[in-house]
Structure formats: structure tokens, C-alpha cells
Amino acid sequence: MLFEERRAINKVVSSERGAIPKGMRPASPEQVFKNLNINKKFSGNDISKSIGDLLNAAKRTTSALEKSYGSIVNVKDENGVTGIVVKMRGLDVKNGTRFLKILIENAFNVGALIGNDDIRVQRVSDVALVYPSRGGSPRWKGPVKSV
């Protein structure tokens, strides 16, 4: 086992509802992280930054993720809530948003991502916006501004 086994208390909610595409069966969270070759924990005061660091690490170790996701940009809303914007490269934004939710959920479940916040993964135009949100409910205020 790469990480201490734990069951996440963090809620991860996506704006994109529905099951994953027909014919795709998700691997167990442990298998996902074994396949990603990630054995580091990501934590800190800013969960959005930790998620960005996790995604960048996953892109470096997995060509499929590198081909699927583009740049990751730190952003802030008008109330000072920080988040990240993930640009899509080889995925449409609907499936890219859904897969990000699954990856973040798996990271919490295996202990690769440590934090106390619930997370919202929200489609905004042609990008995915990821930010902390109590209960995963939408709470982003105003336009998405780069930090």
C-alpha cells in the first residue's frame, strides 16, 4: 500500500452529473494511484494549491493525463476564495470535469491528498474550476481572476 488506508471525510462534488461513459469501469483508488506512480502526499494550508500540485505530478508521470489536461492556473474570486482552473487539452470539458472529480476523490480516499475542505469541481465555459466549498455547493463569486 502506497499510503495509509483511510476513508476520506471530504466531499467532492462536480457540476457535471451522471455516470462515467458507458464501457469504462473505474479502477480502485489504490490502483489509480499505483498506475499514476504517485507515492507522495499533497497537503498544505491551500487545498487548491495541493490539488494543482497533485495534478501536475500526475501529468508528469502519466502521458494520458498529460494529453488530456492542459495548464493549471491559480485563481481567486471576489471574496478571496482561491482555486485552480484546469484547461482541457484532449478531453471535452464535461468529461474532463467529471474525471477530475473522480481523481480528487480517489486522492482523498487513499490519503494522497490531505485537507479538511470539501471540494467543488465546476465547469466554467471551456475549463474546470476547482475550489474549496462547504458541502461541495457552488459558492464562487464573480469572475474567475488569475492570481
> What is the pTM (predicted TM-score) of this model?
0.89
Structure confidence at residue 31 (pLDDT): 87
Whether residue 101 lies inside any domain: the answer is: yes
Q: What is the domain range of residue 54?
A: 12-17+25-137
Structure confidence at residue 145 (pLDDT): 80
Structure confidence at residue 8 (pLDDT): 58
Domain count, the chain: 1
Q: Which of 16, 24, 7, 5 is nearest to 96 (CA)?
A: 16
Structure confidence at residue 1 (pLDDT): 44
Whether residue 41 lies inside any domain: the answer is: yes
Please list the ranges in the chain whose pLDDT falls under 50: 1
Whether residue 1 lies inside any domain: the answer is: no
The secondary structure of 19-70 as a DSSP string is PPPTT--PPPHHHHHHHHT----B--S-HHHHHHHHHHHHHHH-HHHHHHEE
